[in-house]
Structure 1
Amino acid sequence: MVIGVPKEIKNNENRVALTPAGVQELVKFNHTLYVQSTAGIGSGFSDDEYRAAGAEILPTIEDVYGIADMIMKVKEPIAPEYGLIRENQLLFTYFHFASSRELTEAMIERRAVCLAYETVEKADRSLPLLIPMSEVAGRMAIQEGAKYLEKPLKGRGILLGGVPGVPPAKVLILGGGVVGTQAAKMAAGLGAQVTILDVSLPRLRYLSDIMPANVITRMSNDYTIRELVKDHDLIVGAVLIPGAKAPNLITRDMLKTMRPGTVLVDVAVDQGGCIETCKPTTHENPTYIIDDVVHYCVANMPGAVPYTSTQALTNATLPYALQLANKGWQQACQDSAELRLGLNVVQGEVVYQGVSDAFNLPYTPLERVMSGAYSS
Structure 2
Amino acid sequence: MKIGIPKEIKNNENRVGMTPAGVFELIKNNHTVYVQSTAGEGSGFFDADYESVGATILPTIQDVYAESDMIVKVKEPIEEEYDLIKPNQVLFTYFHFASSEALTLAMLKSNAVCIAYETVEDEEGTLPLLTPMSEVAGRMAIQQGAKYLEKPIKGKGILLGGVPGVPPGKVLILGAGVVGIQAAKMAAGLGAHVTILDVNMKRLRYVNDIMPSHVITEFSSEYNIRKHIKTHDLIVGGVLIKGAKAPKLITRDMLKDMHPGAVIVDVAVDQGGCIETTKPTTHEDPTYIIDDVVHYCVANMPGAVPYTSTVALTNVTLPYILKLANKGWEVACDEDKLLAKGLNIVKGTCVLEEIEEAFGWNVSC
TM-score over 0.5 for the alignment? yes
Q: Distance between the aligned counterparts of 2:274 and 2:337, measured in 1?
A: 29
1:364 deviates by 5.0
For 1:357, the equivalent position in structure 2 comes to 357
1:361 deviates by 3.0
Give yes or no for the alignment of 1:147 onto 2:147: yes
Q: Which amino acid aligns with 1:166?
A: V
For 2:215, the equivalent position in structure 1 comes to 215
Q: Which amino acid aligns with 2:273?
A: G
Corresponding residue SS for 2:34: strand
1:123 deviates by 2.7
For 2:344, the equivalent position in structure 1 comes to 344
Q: Distance between the aligned counterparts of 2:364 and 2:6, measured in 1?
A: 30
Q: Distance between the aligned counterparts of 1:64 and 1:362, measured in 2?
A: 36
**Native 8 Å contact 1:349 1:363 kept in 2:** no
**Native 8 Å contact 1:233 1:263 kept in 2:** yes
For 1:277, the equivalent position in structure 2 comes to 277
Q: Distance between the aligned counterparts of 1:355 and 1:259, measured in 2?
A: 36
**Native 8 Å contact 1:353 1:363 kept in 2:** no
For 2:15, the equivalent position in structure 1 comes to 15
Give yes or no for the alignment of 1:38 onto 2:38: yes
Corresponding residue SS for 1:77: coil
Q: Which amino acid aligns with 1:12?
A: N
User: Which TM-score applies when normalising by structure 2?
Assistant: 0.99
Identity of aligned residues (%): 72
For 1:369, the equivalent position in structure 2 comes to none
The alignment's C-alpha RMSD in Å is 0.9
Q: Which amino acid aligns with 2:344?
A: N
The runs of at least 4 consecutive aligned structure 1 residues that moved more than 6 Å come to none
Moved more, 354-363 or 106-115: 354-363
Q: Distance between the aligned counterparts of 2:61 and 2:310, measured in 1?
A: 19
For 1:83, the equivalent position in structure 2 comes to 83
Q: Which amino acid aligns with 2:109?
A: E
Q: Distance between the aligned counterparts of 2:196 and 2:290, measured in 1?
A: 24
Q: Which amino acid aligns with 2:263?
A: V
Q: Deviations over 1:120-151 (max 9, x none)?
A: 01131100000000000000000000000000
User: Which TM-score applies when normalising by structure 1?
Assistant: 0.96
Matches within 5 A, 1:172-321: 172-321=172-321
1:363 deviates by 5.6
For 1:63, the equivalent position in structure 2 comes to 63
Moved more, 287-296 or 116-125: 116-125
Corresponding residue SS for 1:155: coil
Q: Distance between the aligned counterparts of 2:96 and 2:171, measured in 1?
A: 27
Q: Structure 2, unaligned stretches of length 5 or more? A: none
How many aligned positions are there? 365
Q: Deviations over 1:283-324 (max 9, x none)?
A: 000000000000000000000000100000000100000000
Q: Distance between the aligned counterparts of 1:362 and 1:51, measured in 2?
A: 48
Q: Distance between the aligned counterparts of 1:124 and 1:354, measured in 2?
A: 20
Q: Deviations over 1:132-181 (max 9, x none)?
A: 00000000000000000000010000001000000000000000000000
